[in-house]
Amino acid sequence: MIRQIRIENYKSIQKLKLELGRVTVLIGENGSGKSNILEAIALSAAAAADKLDNEFLASRGIRVTEASLMRAAFDKNNVTQQIKIYFGENEEIYFDCLLQNKNEPYSKWINETFNLDSVLKPLSLLNHSEHPSLIKNMDEGYLKALKNFNKASEQAIHALIDNKNYLQAFLIYSPEYHCLRNFKEEGQIQPLGINGEGLFKLLQVLSLDKNKLTEIKDKLKLMGWFQDFKIPQSLFVGERAIQIKDRYLDQEVAYFDQKSTNEGFLFLLFYFCLFISEDTPKFFASDNIDASLNPKLCRRLVKELANLAKNYEKQVILTTHNPAILDGLNLDDDEQRLFVVSRNRLGYSRARRFLKPETPEGEKLVKMSEAFLRGYIGGLPGEVIIND
């Protein structure tokens, strides 16, 4: 997993460091910079995949605007400087992106980070007998140092490559009801587009595994009325529909399709398919995870997603405005982390990890949602960090 992220000079972020868990939740007022953190990660993922065209950036969930406005404009000199993004598991193993744009009409983003292949290829030449003259002309001390370097750095290089591959598939999901309701076909990003495109096809693939299909159905029972769903065998070419059963309806009443169900059900279906599928990214984000969901359902959903993330080796960053989401977190588990995102007195976005405080003996435990609304956690409108 990626444990540490550092971002410099991106939109509202002047300089920010974030230490991730398996499930990381960002909460804060509108405009505090939560989505900017996700976008910076997605931008570097596009760079790792060598796909920095605007069309590709938008399909990853990035709000693309003029290149100068993609930088932190707190100082006018910043708008020509690089965007810098660092990823790693510790201080020794990292992958970084240095992104530049000329700010001219139609100019594209360029990743100015060194090319890993250009470093590894010359070293690999030393292992081939067709280059004896190259080896012969090196002094013994250099060859010994190079040999030691290769041994010491082999693990680090493999970790760097793994981080890059892990990062490339990162997406910011923000499902939309009309895409889910109509089972919009997959687009540029497969198997799931950022708004839910391709959900029906993914569900068909998942249905081939009875255990996964059963697990999805069990999770959907978070909706008290849900009994079952099935994919009809007699669909016309191009037709996309599922049949859903409400346990309160007469048993002889026919199933109804996804266009007749509530949007909360479709959002749950999307999230459970996203987390359970082996074809979806290992590392991703969901912006506004609470959209269209009842507060109690939000709490129960986060608990379920945290378990699924662990079981299916997913790493996820969630943003929310709904304090009920916080009640679903287990902050005694270090893999579940909460960050409060806010702006300091200069307007820079900051992310502060919130650690669960000890409850004094004899005192009643205060729910996280209640603590947030009382202002104990932070992240409410009007709050400014002075000493940061």
Q: What is the pLDDT of residue 336?
A: 98
Rounded CA gap, 123 and 54, in Å? 35
Residue with the larger pLDDT of the pair 166 and 126: 166
**Position 288 pLDDT exceeds 90:** yes
* Residue pair 271/301 in contact by the 8 Å Cβ criterion: yes
Domains detected in the chain: 1-170+281-387 (3.40.50.300), 174-280 (no CATH)
What whole-number percentage of the chain has pLDDT above 70? 84
**Position 19 pLDDT exceeds 90:** yes
Mean pLDDT lowest for which of 33-37, 106-110, 172-176, 219-223?
Answer: 106-110
Mean pLDDT lowest for which of 80-94, 312-326, 332-346?
Answer: 80-94
Under the banding of pLDDT at 50, 70 and 90, the label for residue 118 is very low
**Position 121 pLDDT exceeds 90:** no
Under the banding of pLDDT at 50, 70 and 90, the label for residue 129 is very low
**Position 143 pLDDT exceeds 90:** no
**Position 149 pLDDT exceeds 80:** no
**Position 264 pLDDT exceeds 90:** yes
Mean pLDDT lowest for which of 211-225, 332-346, 355-369?
Answer: 355-369
**Position 359 pLDDT exceeds 80:** no
Short-list 71, 54, 73, CA closest to 62: 54
Residue with the larger pLDDT of the pair 209 and 114: 209
* Residue pair 5/85 in contact by the 8 Å Cβ criterion: yes
Rounded CA gap, 220 and 224, in Å? 9
| Residue that has been written with the tokens 């690089």 in this structure | 82
* Residue pair 24/305 in contact by the 8 Å Cβ criterion: no
pLDDT (mean) for 23-34: 96
Give the number of other Cβ atoms within 10 Å of residue 196's Cβ: 27
Under the banding of pLDDT at 50, 70 and 90, the label for residue 161 is low
What whole-number percentage of the chain has pLDDT above 90? 67
Q: What is the pTM of this model?
A: 0.88
Give the side-chain half-sphere CA count within 13 A for 291: 17
Q: What is the pLDDT of residue 43?
A: 95
**Position 115 pLDDT exceeds 60:** no
Q: What is the pLDDT of residue 385?
A: 53
**Position 274 pLDDT exceeds 60:** yes
pLDDT tens digits, one per residue of 1-13: 899 999 999 999 9
Short-list 169, 158, 272, CA closest to 222: 272
Mean pLDDT lowest for which of 81-85, 146-150, 161-165?
Answer: 146-150
Q: Point out which residues pair with 320 in neighbouring strands.
A: 27
Rounded CA gap, 241 and 206, in Å? 15
Cα-atom radius of gyration of the chain, to the nearest Å? 24
Q: What's at 119, amino acid-wise?
A: V
pLDDT tens digits, one per residue of 66-98: 999 999 999 988 899 999 999 877 665 567 899
* Residue pair 1/20 in contact by the 8 Å Cβ criterion: yes
Give the number of other Cβ atoms within 10 Å of residue 161's Cβ: 13
Mean pLDDT lowest for which of 10-19, 128-137, 379-388?
Answer: 128-137
Based on the number of CB atoms within 10 Å of its own CB, is 220 exposed (0-12), middle (13-18) or buried (19 or more)? middle
**Position 54 pLDDT exceeds 60:** yes
